[in-house]
Structure 1
Amino acid sequence: MQTHFGWDRFRAGQRAVVEAVLEGRDALAVLPTGGGKSLCYQLPALVRDGLVVVISPLVALMEDQVLALQKRGITAACLHAGLDPGRRQQAMARLRDESLRLLYIAPERLQGEATRQMLENHASEGRLVALAVDEAHCISAWGHDFRPDYRRLGMIRRLCPGVPMLALSATAAPRVRADILRLLDLRSPLVQVSSARRANLNYTMQRRPRDPMPQVLEALKQSRGAALIYARTRRSVELWAERLREQKVDATPYHAGLDPDTRRTALTRFLEQKRPVLVATVAFGMGVDRGDVGLVLHLDLPATPEGYLQESGRAGRDGQPASCLVLFSPGDRTTLSWAMQASGRSSPSLEERRRLDLAQQQLRRMEAVAEGEMCREQALLLAVGELVSPCGHCDRCKTAPNHRDWSTQVETLLTHLADQEGMDLRRLGEHLALHEPGRGDRWTWLARRLVQEELIRESNDGAQRLYLRESGRSFLKTPWPLDYAA
C-alpha cells in the first residue's frame, strides 16, 4: 500500500474488506464516497499473483481508474464497446501473458461468450484473485441507479464458483443491501457498512429564483479549490458553462454528448488546474481522484437522496470543509416525473412499472428533504437507513424557520379534494387560487407537504394525481394543528 499508493494506514472499513478478499471470502462493502472503495480490490490484485476483474457501469469511470493505475506503474486495462482495436488487442495480449493485474469490464460484456470463457479459464487455472462489482446498488430496483445489465451478474457465481466476490457501493439502504446479497449469491460474506456521515460537508438547499446566477457566483466566490456544478441536461450544461464564461468564470462543460477528445481535455483541466469550475451532468465525478473539491452545486432537485449523497460526497475528500448547495424549484419534480415516465416504453412490463413507481417514491423522498424542516444531513442519512443526530452546521440547523399554523388551509384543501375522484396537482393549485386567498404555487406546495404527511396519496405514474387518504378524512372530522415554515 505504501509502495504503490503512498498511504501508511487504512481508512475506516478498508482493512477488514481487504483481508476478507485475501482470505478468499465474499464481502459487501458500503463505504462513503471518498472512503477508498477502489483500494479494497486494487490492493488484493497487487498482493496476490493473479488477476482481479472489476465490473463497472461507466466507461469514463473505468478509463479514469485505469489511467490512474498505469501512472502508478500498475498494469491495468479495460474492455468496453468504445475501445479502439489497438487497445483491445493490447489488453488481450496482456491477459494471455498473465501480466495484467486489474481488468475493468462493462456489465454487458458478460453476455459475450469470449468474456465468459476468459473468466472460466482464469478461474479454473487459479489465476483469478477476485471479482469486484463496483456500484453494486445498480443491481437493485430499490437502488438509485438501477441498471438492467446488473441483474444478470448472478451468472458470475456459476462461472467462477470458487472465486471470492466483492460488491461495493457508496450508498445502499438495508433493502438494497439485501438485494445485492441475494442477487449476487454472496456466500457467508463479510458485510462492512461504514457511516455515510461526512462531518466536513455543509448542506444548504434553497428555492431557485428565476435567475440563480447571483447565488451561483456567490457560492463560487466563497468556495475553495475545485467546483463541480451539476445540471440535469446536456443543453443546460452547455448554456451554464457559456453564461459563467460571460461572467468571467473559466467554466468547462462536460457531458456524454461531447467527443472523446473534448471530454479528455475537460477532465485534464479539472484534475490539473488550481481552481477549476466544471459544469457537468451528474454522471461526472465517479472515481475522479481530486480531493480539494470545495463546492458541489446542483442547479436542479436531485432525483434521489441516495444519489445526492453520492454526488455531494465528491466534495471535501481531503477532509477539509466543503459546501454542498442545491438550488431547486417546486417544478423540478414535475419535470423529473414526466422525464421518468417518458423514458419507459409505451406498454411497460410489470417490472418496469414497479421500477417507475419506486423512482417516483424516491423523488418524493428527495423533495421531502429539500422542502422539510429536518436537519439536511439527518434527513439524507435517514433515507439510507442510518439514524444520526442533527449535524449542527447545515442551513436548517443554523437557521430556525418561522412557523405558522396551516390547519385552516389544510382543511380547505382536503375538503375540496374529498369532493373529487382525484385531481392532478397543478389543477388543484389553480382551482384553489381562484376560489380561496393565496397563490396557486402556495397551494401546490401545501398539497405536496400533505403527501409527505400521508394525508394525501399521489399516483406513481408521473401525472401527480392526488387522492384523499383515510388519514385525511380523519383530519376533516377532527382537525389538529399543522405547523409548517411560512
Structure 2
Amino acid sequence: MLQQALYLLEHTYGYSAFRGQQQHIIESALAGEDVLVLMPTGGGKSLCYQIPALIRPGLGIIVSPLIALMQDQVSTLTQLGIKAAFLNSTLSADERRTVAYDLRQGNIDLLYIAPERLLQPGTLQWLQQFQISLIAIDEAHCVSQWGHDFRADYLQLNQLREAFPGVPRIALTATATPRTQEEIVQRLELNAPKQFVSSFDRPNIRYSVQAKQDGRKQLIKFLATQRGNSGIIYCLSRKKVEATSEWLQSRGLNALPYHAGLPTELRAHHLTRFLREEEIIMVATIAFGMGIDKPDVRFVAHLDLPKSMEAYYQETGRAGRDGEPAEAWMVYGLNDVMHLSQMVDRSEAHEIFKRNEKAKLEALLGWCEETSCRRRSLLAYFGEQHETDCGNCDTCLTPPKTWDATEPARKLLSCIYRTGQRFGAGHVIDVLRGKMNERMKDLGHNHLSVFNIGAQLSEQKWRSIVRQLLVKGFIHSDADQYGAISLMERSRPLLRGEIQLFLREDIDSKPENMRKTKTSRYNEVSDNDRELWQALRACRKTLADEFGIAPYMVFHDATLMEMMEYRPETADQLLGISGVGESKLEKFGDAFLEVLREHAE
C-alpha cells in the first residue's frame, strides 16, 4: 500500500517525497488504525487523510465545520483529477440530489460534509449503505469544551464509532494544548489512536507585538513594509472592520471588509477577490480565515487582541502557508485588556468555564508583555520546549528595555485606594496628573494627597503602567462597575515597599532594524528573470480565470519558481517540477511550456 501512496503523491499531487510525519500517519490509517494528528497550518494535513481514503476501498468522509475550506479543497482536488464533492448549507436541493446520484453511481471518492448535516439521522443511515474507506475529522479541537473554538455538534461525533464500526477515524488539528489533545481522544472515542504531534513552530513567521498608541498610524507604518502583498487584518467588531477597510481604501489600498453581518453575496464576492487577485487586504472579524487555504498570505495583523493563545496561533497561522517569510503583527492596549476581561465577566457561562477563559486571556496578555524570546514562550504554551532563542521575533531582534517602576506603581495603587476603588483608569490617571475639571471638583479628589503626585509622567506612560499591572494581577477591572479598578491581594507587598517592580518600556515606534525583515524570494527575482516571472504569473492568471479558480489552484508560486529555474522544454521535464501532477500537466502544461519557449535564452 505504501507504493500506492507514493505513486499517488508523485503522479497525482506532483510531489516526489512525503514531508515530516506524513508517511507514518498514512501508513497507520492504511492499516485501519485510529489516528490523532497535530500538525501546524501549512504542514500538509490534508494529504494525511486524502491519500489513505483514496487507496482504501470505498468512500472517504471528511467532516469539516468550514464551508470555505470544503469548497476550496473540492476545487483543488478537482484540478488534480480526484473525484470529490461537498454537502453543506450552500447547496440547493437540485445540487444535493446531484451529489446523492453521483455517490450511488460511484462517481465520488471523497465527500466533505458539515458535522450538523452528517449527524442528522437520515444522513447517517443513508451513508451506511456505502462502503466507507476512512473518516477524517478536521479541526478536531472544536470538540473541546475548554478550547477556543468549541462547536456543540462535534460532541456528537462519537456516534461515528457505532455507525461505522471498523472504519478508521483520523482526527486532525493545528491547535491543541496537551489537555485538549486528551479531550479529543476521549470525546471522539478514538480506539487506542496512534498520536502524531508535529512541532507547532512556524519558523517562517515573524511575531511582533507593540503597545497600542495610535493604532491606525502604527498600522499604516506596518503596511508600508508590505507593499504588493496580500494579508489579513483582524478587528474585534464589525463596526471597526468596516471603518478600517474604508480608511485603508481612502489611503489607496485594496482593502475589503468581511464579517458575518454582510450580505452573503457580498461576502462571497470579497472572498473570491481575495483568493483570485493579488495585493488584496482583507479586513475581517474572526469569522474570516478558518479554512482559507490561500498559500501566499504574507501577513496577518491584529488591531485588537484575540481571546486566547490558541485563537492567536490559529489566526496567525493563515500567514505563510507556502513556507516563505511572513509577518504576524499585533498592537494592543489598556482598552483591549479591560474590554476582553469584561466580556468574560459579563458572559452567562458557567463559573468554571469563565475561570478557564480568564486564564487563557491572562496567558495571552502575559505573552504580549514578554521580554524574552516570544516564539519560545508561544511554543511552551503548547507544551513544546525549545532551548535556544529563535532570532526571528521582535524581542530577539530588538530586546525590550525595562525600567524600575516601583515608585510610580505604588503611587498608582495608592491613588486607586484613596479614590475608593470605584473609578476607571481614565479618572485615576487624571488624579495622578493633577487634571482639574468639574468632576474632579465635585468629587473633591483635588484635595486628596495623591492629587498631582504623578504629573511628571505622561498619560500614555500611566496607561502603560495600568495595563501591565492588570496583566500581572496587581489590580482588577470590574465589568459590573463600568471598569472600576480595584486592588488585588498581590498589590499589598508592592504598596508596602517589600518588593521591587520592573516593567517593560513601551517603544514609541518600530526600531530601524525591525524594518529589515526577510522578504519572500519572489520579491528577489533577478532583472534577467523578471520578464519570464511576470509572463508565468500572467499565464497562471489567464488559466485561473478560464477555469474559474484561484491562481494558486493552477500552481503555487514555488512551482513557478522551479519552472523559471530549470526551464523545462518537454512535458516529461515539466512533470518533474514539484507540484506538477499528471492531471495539471494535461490541463495546463502546454500553456506554460509555450511561455517558457517564448522566453528561452
Q: Does 1:176 align with 2:175?
A: no
Deviations 1:76-96 (A, max 9, x none): 222223321121111111222
- Does structure 2 conserve the Cα–Cα contact (< 8 Å) formed by 1:227 and 1:295? yes
Q: 1:442 to 1:221 in 2, by over 3 A?
A: closer
State the match for 1:332 in structure 2.
336
Structure 1 counterpart of 2:368, one-letter code: A
State the match for 2:568 in structure 1.
none
**Deviation, structure 1 residue 465:** 7.1
Q: Which structure 2 residues correspond to residues 65-104 of structure 1 after superposition, within 5 A? A: 65-104=73-112
- Aligned counterparts of 1:94 and 1:404: Cα–Cα separation in 2: 68
Deviations 1:4-25 (A, max 9, x none): 2212222222222111111111
State the match for 1:198 in structure 2.
202
- Aligned counterparts of 1:302 and 1:212: Cα–Cα separation in 2: 18
- Aligned counterparts of 1:59 and 1:45: Cα–Cα separation in 2: 21
- Does structure 2 conserve the Cα–Cα contact (< 8 Å) formed by 1:428 and 1:444? no
State the match for 2:373 in structure 1.
375
Deviations 1:325-361 (A, max 9, x none): 112222123333444566x5xxx463xx433332232
- Aligned counterparts of 1:376 and 1:458: Cα–Cα separation in 2: 26
State the match for 2:501 in structure 1.
482
Q: 1:52 to 1:423 in 2, by over 3 A?
A: farther
**Deviation, structure 1 residue 35:** 0.8
- Does structure 2 conserve the Cα–Cα contact (< 8 Å) formed by 1:429 and 1:441? no
Secondary structure in structure 1 of the residue aligned to 2:129: helix
Secondary structure in structure 2 of the residue aligned to 1:327: strand
Q: 1:403 to 1:318 in 2, by over 3 A?
A: same
- Aligned counterparts of 1:460 and 1:235: Cα–Cα separation in 2: 22
- Aligned counterparts of 1:423 and 1:432: Cα–Cα separation in 2: 15
- Aligned counterparts of 1:341 and 1:171: Cα–Cα separation in 2: 25
Q: 1:419 to 1:277 in 2, by over 3 A?
A: closer
State the match for 1:49 in structure 2.
57
State the match for 1:145 in structure 2.
149
Q: Any gaps of 5 or more consecutive residues in structure 1?
A: none
State the match for 1:322 in structure 2.
326
Secondary structure in structure 2 of the residue aligned to 1:141: coil
- Does structure 2 conserve the Cα–Cα contact (< 8 Å) formed by 1:425 and 1:465? yes
More off after superposition, 64-73 vs 407-416? 407-416
**Deviation, structure 1 residue 423:** 6.0
Secondary structure in structure 1 of the residue aligned to 2:500: coil
State the match for 2:134 in structure 1.
130
Q: Does 1:302 align with 2:301?
A: no
Counterpart pick for 2:72 among 64, 67, 70:
64
Q: 1:477 to 1:198 in 2, by over 3 A?
A: same
Q: Which structure 2 residues correspond to residues 82-481 of structure 1 after superposition, within 5 A? A: 82-122=90-130, 127-210=131-214, 212-213=216-217, 215-216=219-220, 218-222=222-226, 225-340=229-344, 344=347, 348=348, 350=350, 353-388=351-386, 389-413=388-412, 426=425, 435=450, 436-437=453-454, 438=457, 442=461, 445-455=464-474, 471-475=490-494, 479-481=498-500
- Aligned counterparts of 2:184 and 2:137: Cα–Cα separation in 1: 10
- Does structure 2 conserve the Cα–Cα contact (< 8 Å) formed by 1:78 and 1:105? yes
- Does structure 1 conserve the Cα–Cα contact (< 8 Å) formed by 2:422 and 2:481? no
**Count of equivalent residues:** 476
Give the TM-score of the pair, scaled to structure 1: 0.87
More off after superposition, 138-147 vs 399-408? 399-408
**Deviation, structure 1 residue 459:** 7.3
More off after superposition, 360-369 vs 411-420? 411-420
- Does structure 1 conserve the Cα–Cα contact (< 8 Å) formed by 2:56 and 2:134? no
Structure 2 counterpart of 1:29, one-letter code: V
**Deviation, structure 1 residue 406:** 1.9
- Aligned counterparts of 1:281 and 1:26: Cα–Cα separation in 2: 35
RMSD of aligned alpha carbons:
3.0
- Aligned counterparts of 1:472 and 1:277: Cα–Cα separation in 2: 44
**Deviation, structure 1 residue 184:** 0.9
**Deviation, structure 1 residue 458:** 7.1
Give the TM-score of the pair, scaled to structure 2: 0.72
More off after superposition, 444-453 vs 230-239? 444-453
- Aligned counterparts of 1:39 and 1:385: Cα–Cα separation in 2: 25
- Aligned counterparts of 1:333 and 1:433: Cα–Cα separation in 2: 22
Structure 2 counterpart of 1:399, one-letter code: T
Q: Any gaps of 5 or more consecutive residues in structure 2?
A: 1-8, 435-449, 506-601
- Aligned counterparts of 1:458 and 1:21: Cα–Cα separation in 2: 50
Q: 1:279 to 1:405 in 2, by over 3 A?
A: same
- Aligned counterparts of 1:272 and 1:255: Cα–Cα separation in 2: 19
Percent identity between the two aligned chains: 38
**Deviation, structure 1 residue 100:** 1.7
**Deviation, structure 1 residue 379:** 2.3
Secondary structure in structure 1 of the residue aligned to 2:45: coil
- Does structure 2 conserve the Cα–Cα contact (< 8 Å) formed by 1:140 and 1:180? yes
Q: Does 1:39 align with 2:47?
A: yes
- Does structure 1 conserve the Cα–Cα contact (< 8 Å) formed by 2:342 and 2:479? no
Q: 1:462 to 1:166 in 2, by over 3 A?
A: farther
Secondary structure in structure 2 of the residue aligned to 1:212: helix
